[in-house]
Amino acid sequence: MVDERKSVVVTQKFFDEGTLRFLEENGCDVTVARFADGVTDATASEAELIALLGGADAWIVGHASVTLSLLRALPRLKVVARRGVGYEKVDLDAAKQTGKAVTIAAGGNEESVADRTLALMLGVAHRLRESQQQLIDGPGAILLGHDLYARTVGIVGLGRIARNVVRRLKAFDVTVLVHTPRPDPAYAEAMGVEYVDLATLLRRSDFVSLHAPFKPDTRHLINAERLSLMKGDAVLINTARGGLVDDRALLAALAAGRLGGAGLDVFESEAAPDLADVTRELVRRPDVVATPHSGASTHEGLRRTNRVAAHCVVSVLNNQAPPAGCLIVGPAPRRSV
């Protein structure tokens, strides 16, 4: 319980009543921002955000850009809590400079995104989109797809979501290849995975699933050259970040029949609006199953991430350590939870 009531502003949609009660019971007065139709915290102006957050001690944020000028305008703010695990839109140096804590909702959405990853693999391999369209258009011809069972799946990156994907894949008797900068021999032995370099993974895999963070050195990790290494009937899955894939190159590979299909929950155009036409072409393709960066957006997943973000807020306001893996920037707490 915080020593005196604090102000928490939430600028994300789908914030559940249970988490609101948790914050209120822990000494917080909560305001859930209401934006005009078509506006989110990602598209709101800095002036709008400052007006909302001027009296806030804590901010539970979605996809807004958190800049130095914004943080300087919010001297009372102590913590920026991401309801999610990506923090590329938060200027971490600015947070350090202005003395703000930054947290993520580690452990909240990984099960939901892992489920979506498998759903995209199966959806593309079994040609579910095309088969449904056949039924809509008539007469409903039978289209042959591919099994996931007993195939080879390449996992790029080995964080929480990737490990949950691997755990699910074991039920399909697949061979799992992993490319990661930090191989864990004990994990490989326990889960029966094989560590390989990226080129080997791309050549051998029937499915390639991306789970790497987006950083300057991972931008276009999958480009035209690397797409050319993949099997002609392989499926690319991206539920991580759009910038990991050169979407123009992916579109070209699909159009030329050099790839079996793609399952996409993220797109390069999210950060590069000039690529919106490329996204439109990708999602219209029959060999692409696409969702709008919504892999974590289940009722259960959002309740979990809401609660983790709220725990982070209460911990920081109490000068306690947030849950494990959640603190990205912030002073060392004087005591732990």
Among this protein's residues, is 4 annotated catalytic? Answer: no
180/187 Cα distance (integer angstroms): 12
79/51 Cα distance (integer angstroms): 17
Task: Give yes or no for a contact between 145 and 123, defined as CB atoms under 8 angstroms apart.
Answer: no
Q: Which of 168, 203, 293, 303 is catalytic?
A: 293
The two tokens of residue 112 are 């939901």
Q: Which of 248, 270, 285, 303 is catalytic?
A: 270
Neighbours of 83 (CB within 10 A): 29
Among this protein's residues, is 25 annotated catalytic? Answer: no
Among this protein's residues, is 21 annotated catalytic? Answer: no
309/14 Cα distance (integer angstroms): 13
CA angle 45, 51, 53 (to 5 degrees): 100
Largest Cα–Cα distance in the chain? 68
Task: Give yes or no for a contact between 209 and 237, defined as CB atoms under 8 angstroms apart.
Answer: yes
Question: What Cα–Cα distance (Å) separates residue 327 from each residue in 58, 106, 124, 311?
Answer: 14, 9, 37, 11
193/185 Cα distance (integer angstroms): 9
Q: Which of 63, 211, 241, 304 is catalytic?
A: 241
User: What are the residue numbers of the active site?
Assistant: 241, 270, 293
